[in-house]
A and B are shown apart, each in its own frame.
Chain A
Amino acid sequence: MWLYEKKLQYPVKVSKCDPKMAKFLMEQYGGADGELSAALRYLNQRYTIPDRVIGLLTDIGTEEFAHLEMIATMIYKLTKDSDVEQLKAAGLGAHYAAHDKALFYSNAAGSPWTATYIQAKGDPIADLYEDIAAEEKARATYQWLIDMTDDVDLIDSLTFLREREIIHSQRFREAVDILKADQQTKKIF
């Protein structure tokens, strides 16, 4: 089972109300390479991945939920003090019409999250390569997001998340190495 801890993995502060930035951040909330996709992708793949890497997929998948909560906190804080006119000006008029200020799993362009963003092939190498690619795409997205804001508090939290993508990618690469080494050993005997 899962246990919830009543704290963020890393502090999230914002220095101003900025619904436009909140809209961009939704890419990492309900977007293809966002945190929801990441968590669901890894936690679903782990049932059929070799035993050697189940622990890694479980732990990274769990950490992704902590990142999802950080992104949610950013979006919440950036929009909570905005009025309807500000939301409309930020391109969130359509969002407001359907959701008020509630968060919703859609990407920056407003498309709702879909399971077609993620894959489970049952082939461990195919799955892990997808995971590595997802981490690298998320890392790139975090860089583009950092480029779009001058809020130093927000940049600090986004930088933390960008760094985590690098670590996850690294660990997945090691998982590939472990599985390839296992295949080699099996061939010898």
Chain B
Amino acid sequence: MDEYQLQEDRSPSYAQHAAADFETYVKELEQLQKIDFVLVELTLYLDTHPTDMQAIQQYNQLAQKRRVMAEAFELKFGPLMSFGHSFSRYPWQWVQTPWPWQV
């Protein structure tokens, strides 16, 4: 596979940030997974309880908080999403490891 790799720097995306090692990556990923879990739960709940005002408020508040968290995470560890939903440094960060099953 290596001969097809045009980019010489193959270090994982989190290694490019001074304060970011594997342990902080896993820890901060888990924080994101936690808030995202609550948002998934609220989404499915609201799908069958669309008039629960309190749940909608909670959803909007957490969605706001999630946006801030994800931006901070991406600055440190690289993009979470492709197709224009995240930004990239040079070289193109999306293709850098680790992919989820490699963590």
CB of B50, distance to nearest CB on chain A (Å): 8
A24 to B10, CA, bound (A): 34
A69→B48 CA distance, assembly (Å) = 26
- The majority secondary structure among interface residues of chain B is helix
Known: A7-B80, A11-B30, A73-B100. A171 touches B44 (CB 8 A): yes
Nearest CB in chain B: distance from A135 CB, A: 12
A183: shortest Cβ distance to chain B, in Å?
Answer: 16
Provide the residues of chain A in CB contact with B100, threshold 8 Å. Answer: 6-8, 69, 73
Known: A6-B79, A9-B36, A11-B30. Contact between A60 and B101, CB under 8 A? no
Is there an interface contact between A8 and B103, defined as CB atoms closer than 8 Å?
yes
Known: A59-B44, A72-B101, A171-B48. A10 touches B80 (CB 8 A): no
Residues of A within 8 A of B37 (CB): 9-10
Q: Which of B45, B80, B83 contacts A6 (CB 8 A)?
A: B80
> Within the assembled complex, what's the spacing in Å between the Cα atoms of A59 and B26?
26
Provide 28 A-B residue pairs closer than 8 Å at the C-beta atoms, listed in order of the A residue. Answer: A3-B83, A5-B80, A6-B78, A6-B79, A6-B80, A6-B81, A6-B94, A6-B100, A7-B32, A7-B80, A8-B101, A8-B103, A53-B47, A55-B47, A56-B44, A56-B47, A56-B48, A59-B43, A59-B47, A60-B44, A63-B44, A69-B100, A69-B101, A73-B100, A73-B101, A77-B101, A174-B49, A175-B48
Total number of residue pairs linking A and B with CB closer than 8 Å: 67
A4 in contact with B82 (CB, 8 Å): yes
Q: Which 6 A-B pairs have the closest CB atoms?
A: A174-B48, A73-B101, A56-B47, A8-B100, A55-B47, A171-B44
Contacts of A174 in B (CB 8 A): 48-49
Residues of chain B in range 14-72 having any CB-CB distance to chain A below 8 Å: 26, 29-30, 32-33, 36-37, 40-41, 43-45, 47-49
One digit per residue, 1 when the CB lies within 8 angstroms of any chain B CB and 0 when it does not, for chain A 166-178 equals 0110010011001
Chain A residues with a Cβ closer than 8 Å to the other chain, count: 27
Contact with B along A58-93 (1 / 0, CB 8 A): 011001000001001100110000000000000000
A175 (CB) vs chain B CBs: closest residue: B48
Q: Whole-angstrom distance between the alpha carbons of A11 and B32 in the complex?
A: 11
Does residue B90 face the partner (Cβ distance < 8 Å to A)? no
